[in-house]
């Protein structure tokens, strides 16, 4: 997938005029890119359109219109766009009760490295997590992590040919498996890959 450039973005004025319809489009798009693993873990698989929305929202919120500021936002969000050989996802550990979330984050240290995806007929692919900076320490993990799943050529070919995808978590304090993932998610993920 191509990275975003300044030419792909709307001006603040243009974006303000179209923001509501663009947001509705993004929310519908994200629905096909979500994977719930058990009750408390959500993966949102990122792509170029979602990252464009994120950049546009940051530019609007921060009122950034100068070239250097825009390039800084692009440098932040472009690494989250899949490269054709991988999937990139935001992992969210979700507990509505703040106290329970704090307790669970101490029990789930390392979970980000124990999330896996599996193309039917192939070995599991474990997440490469938080390449930009560490998001856990000896006491707790973060509620948000950024993951990359790197796929071999034969896995990508199988997906393009229609192979199912399974997903799961195998942390000692949290287990979940989805086998197979929804067809809408499978198709969205297939579109992220190049051969």
pLDDT exceeds 90 at position 167: yes
pLDDT exceeds 90 at position 66: yes
CATH number of 33-46+83-195: 2.60.40
Per-residue pLDDT, averaged over 57-63, amounts to 95
Extents of the domains making up the chain: 1-31+48-81, 33-46+83-195
pTM for this prediction: 0.92
**Residue written as token pair 């490469």:** 128
Q: What is the pLDDT of residue 135?
A: 81
CA 70, 73, 75, 81 torsion-angle sign: negative
Q: What is the pLDDT of residue 1?
A: 78
Q: What is the pLDDT of residue 166?
A: 98
Q: What would the two tokens of residue 28 be?
A: 């519908």
Q: What is the pLDDT of residue 132?
A: 76
Alpha-carbon distance of 117 to 169, in angstroms, equals 9
């Amino acid at each position: 997938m191509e990275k975003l450039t300044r030419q792909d973005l709307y001006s603040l004025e243009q974006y303000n005029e179209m923001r509501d319809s663009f947001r509705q489009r993004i929310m519908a798009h994200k629905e096909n890119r979500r994977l719930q693993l058990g009750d408390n873990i959500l993966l949102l698989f990122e792509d170029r359109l979602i990252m464009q929305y994120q950049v546009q929202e940051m530019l609007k919120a921060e009122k950034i219109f100068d070239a250097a500021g825009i390039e800084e936002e692009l440098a932040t969000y472009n690494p989250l766009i899949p490269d054709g050989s991988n999937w990139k996802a935001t992992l969210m550990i979700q507990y509505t009760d703040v106290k329970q979330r704090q307790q669970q984050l101490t029990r789930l240290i390392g979970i980000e490295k124990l999330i896996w995806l599996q193309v039917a007929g192939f070995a599991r692919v474990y997440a490469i997590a938080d390449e930009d900076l560490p998001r856990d320490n000896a006491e707790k993990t973060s509620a948000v992590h950024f993951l990359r799943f790197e796929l071999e050529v034969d896995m990508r070919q199988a997906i393009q040919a229609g192979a199912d995808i399974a997903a799961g978590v195998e942390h000692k304090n949290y287990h979940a498996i989805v086998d197979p993932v929804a067809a809408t998610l499978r198709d969205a993920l297939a579109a992220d890959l190049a051969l």
